[in-house]
């Protein structure tokens, strides 16, 4: 069992909660000490159907009894089925399967490079990304991530990125002034603090970029797969990106990512252009196909909207009565609550009350319930959350 004092042979790259989750079912997990928690972290928007959803478990069990891995030297029928579902849902044409969000983004960045190189436009050397974005931790996706705290100590960074402020019209000048390979953005910056892009700004950005022939990559690794109440968040912005990446929720906990693209760009990847040993293997595809079919269903998407309305209405009420809440924002079941102070004590107090939630930066509580959570569980969360807020105020009053 977990012991915070014992020597660890695992590299010390994560700040961890003092908790080991031993089992889970639906929205609930049981820790190694026997305590139950409402898991409104969903493994960071991965377990979007809760823990061990039945449809996915059945697909996995059936595939486990057949074949697990073949390599991409062989045809994999479930890749075809899932690619069709993802492409049709996104209104696009082709899909590349990877193993994570960073890898899906790497594939997208390689694709746009190849596109311009095929056209012999070698003067196009950079991709525009935005301050406080998060696109992954590999060499290139770390460079795409415009956050100094992620870059520090890893210089020299992979070249080829320019950064602009998010939601600022200033950022448009560069579209005319620099020969860009692509524009890449999140429509709600997840790791950056659950910060939604302004709808007008996004529309202008996408229109300007596309009119100049610059492809727009939307990173939906966190916002995609139903998280915000539609299969992809870009639909709510009324835009049509050229490339979309997904990962987190796609496999319900099995590692998988996907890059979805329009044919204009997808055609630049020919045999041998890109590849992955594990990407899209039969076992992972069985989980991802069953997950995607469920996540895109009307049942799940209407549930997200229903529970979301309830949670946002209550949080907005709490904001009026609790001065510690600075802002409430997000979409669907991707919820950010910015406080006037660090969130760590509040998250610890919530754990005492059997609720798990996440930080997004220092002052933002990030709540990512499973998309099939119900109103009763939402009530449980809201009741505990307001108690924790109250406790925070009382502790402040005493000091
Ligand atoms: C989590 C995340 C990534 C990175 O995904 P990994 O699977 O950790 O590589 C990339 N982009 C966004 C928006 C994310 O939230």
Taking the CA of residue 223 as reference, the ligand 1 atom at the shortest distance is 13
Alpha helices in 247-374, H assignment, sequence order: 263-266, 282-295, 298-321, 344-352
What pLDDT shows up at residue 398?
A: 54
Residues 318, 390, 195, 48, Cα dihedral to 10° = -90
Q: Which element (helix H / strand E) includes 4? A: none
Whether residue 16 lies inside any domain: the answer is no
- Of 295, 310, 338, which residue constitutes the final position of a domain? 295
CATH number of the domain where residue 48 is located: 3.90.1150.10
- The atom of ligand 1 lying closest to the CA of 189 is 13
Q: Do residues 310 and 265 both lie within one domain?
A: no
The answer on 280 and 375 residing in a single domain is: no
How far is Cα 382 from Cα 328, in angstroms, rounded to an integer? 14
Residue 109 host element (H or E): helix 101-118
Which of 137, 183, 184, 185 lies closest to 158, judged by CA? 137
| Last residue within a domain, chosen from 265, 295, 325 | 295
Residues 48 and 59 reside in one and the same domain: no
Position 12 in a domain = no
Lookup: tokens for 379? 């009530």
* 154 falls within a domain: yes
The enclosing domain of 99 has a CATH number of 3.40.640.10
CA of 139 to the centre of ligand 1 (A): 13
CA quadruple 100, 101, 104, 108: dihedral, nearest 10: -160
Strands across the sheet containing 36-39: 21-25, 28-31, 36-39, 355-356
pLDDT mean by block of 10 residues, the chain; 399 residues: 80 95 98 97 98 98 98 98 98 98 98 98 96 98 98 98 96 91 98 98 97 98 98 98 98 98 98 97 98 98 98 98 97 98 98 98 97 98 98 71
271 occurs within a structural domain: yes
- Across the strands, what pairs with 163? 129
Give me the torsion for CA of 51, 42, 45, 292, rounded to 10°: 20
Q: Which domain covers residue 228, as residue numbers?
A: 54-295
pLDDT in tens, 23-46: 999 999 999 999 999 999 999 999
Q: Is 221 in the pocket of ligand 1 (CB under 6 A)?
A: yes
Both 271 and 330 in one domain: the answer is no
Helices (H), 123-211: 139-144, 148-151, 173-177, 199-211
C-beta 101 within 6 A of ligand 1:
yes
259 CA to centre of ligand 1 in angstroms: 13
CA distance between the termini of the chain: 36
Shared-domain flag, residues 72 and 212: yes
Indicate whether this model's pTM tops 0.75: yes
Domain shared by 116 and 75, yes or no: yes
Same domain, 65 and 29: no
Residue 7, domain member (yes or no):
no
- Do 271 and 288 fall within a single domain? yes
Query: Is ligand 1 within 6 A of the CB of residue 102?
Result: yes
Quick one: which atom of ligand 1 is closest to the CA of 219? 13
Angle at 112 between CA 110 and CA 113, to 5 degrees: 60
Residue 154 CB coordination number (10 Å): 12
- Pocket residue to mutate for ligand 1, from 102, 103, 241, 243, most atoms within 8 A of Cβ: 102
* Ligand 1 atom closest to residue 101's alpha carbon, by position in its atom list: 5
Nearest to 355 by CA among 19, 54, 46, 22: 19
What pLDDT score does 394 carry?
Answer: 78
Q: Are residues 193 and 336 in the same domain?
A: no
Count up the domains in the chain and report the number: 2
Closest CA to 59 of 279, 348, 284: 284
Residue 156 has φ and ψ, to the nearest 5°, of: -75, 140
Domain membership of residue 8 (yes or no) is no
**Residue 247, ligand 1, Cβ within 6 A:** yes
| Bridge-based pairing state of the strands 180-185 and 216-219 | parallel
Task: Check residue 92 and give left, alpha or beta (phi > 0: left; psi -120 to 50: alpha).
Answer: beta
| Cα of 150 from ligand 1 centre, angstroms | 13
For residues 253 and 367, membership in a common domain is answered with no
138 with 160, same domain? yes
Residue 257 Cα to ligand 1 midpoint, Å, equals: 9
Task: Measure the CA–CA gap between 39 and 27, rounded to whole angstroms.
Answer: 6
pLDDT at res. 177: 87
If residue 42 lies in a helix (H) or strand (E), which one and from where to where? helix 42-45
Last residue of a domain, one of 295, 327, 356: 295
Pair 243, 259 in one domain? yes
For residue 3, tell me if it sits in a domain.
Answer: no
Radius of gyration of the chain measured on its C-alpha atoms: 21
Q: Which residue has the tokens 């705290």?
A: 149
Residue 132 domain-assigned?
yes
């Amino acid at each position: 069992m977990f012991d915070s004092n014992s020597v660890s042979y695992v590299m010390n790259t994560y700040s961890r909660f003092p908790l080991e989750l031993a089992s889970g079912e639906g929205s609930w997990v049981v820790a190694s000490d026997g305590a139950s928690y409402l898991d409104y972290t969903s493994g960071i928007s991965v377990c979007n159907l809760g823990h061990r959803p039945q449809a996915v478990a059945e697909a996995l069990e059936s595939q486990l009894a057949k074949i697990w891995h073949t390599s991409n030297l062989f045809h994999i029928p479930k890749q075809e089925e899932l690619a069709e579902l993802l492409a049709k849902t996104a209104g696009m044409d082709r899909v590349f399967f990877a193993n994570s969000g960073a890898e899906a983004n790497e594939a997208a960045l390689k694709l746009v490079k190849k596109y311009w190189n095929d056209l012999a436009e070698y003067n196009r050397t950079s991709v525009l990304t935005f301050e406080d974005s998060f696109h992954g931790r590999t060499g290139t996706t770390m460079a795409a991530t415009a956050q100094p705290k992620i870059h520090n100590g890893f210089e020299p960074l992979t070249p080829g990125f320019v950064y602009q402020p998010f939601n600022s019209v200033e950022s448009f000048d560069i579209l005319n002034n620099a020969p860009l390979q692509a524009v890449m953005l999140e429509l709600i910056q997840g790791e950056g603090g659950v910060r939604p892009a302004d709808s007008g700004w996004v529309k202008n950005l996408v229109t300007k970029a596309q009119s100049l022939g610059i492809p727009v990559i939307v990173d939906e690794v966190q916002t995609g797969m139903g998280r915000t109440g539609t299969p992809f968040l870009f639909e709510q912005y009324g835009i049509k990106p050229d490339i979309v990446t997904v990962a987190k929720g796609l496999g319900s906990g099995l590692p998988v990512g996907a890059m979805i693209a329009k044919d204009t760009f997808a055609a630049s990847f020919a045999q041998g252009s890109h590849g992955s040993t594990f990407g899209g293997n039969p076992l992972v595809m069985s989980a991802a196909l069953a997950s995607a079919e469920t996540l895109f269903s009307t049942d799940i998407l209407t549930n997200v909207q229903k529970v979301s309305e309830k949670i946002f209405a209550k949080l907005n009420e709490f904001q009026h009565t609790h001065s510690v809440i600075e802002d409430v924002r997000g979409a669907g079941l991707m919820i950010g609550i910015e406080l006037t102070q660090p969130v760590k004590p509040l998250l610890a107090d919530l754990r005492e009350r059997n609720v798990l939630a996440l930080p997004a930066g220092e002052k933002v509580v990030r709540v990512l319930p499973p998309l099939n959570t119900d109103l009763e569980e939402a009530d449980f969360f809201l009741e505990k959350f307001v108690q924790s807020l109250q406790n925070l105020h009382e502790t402040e009053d005493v000091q």
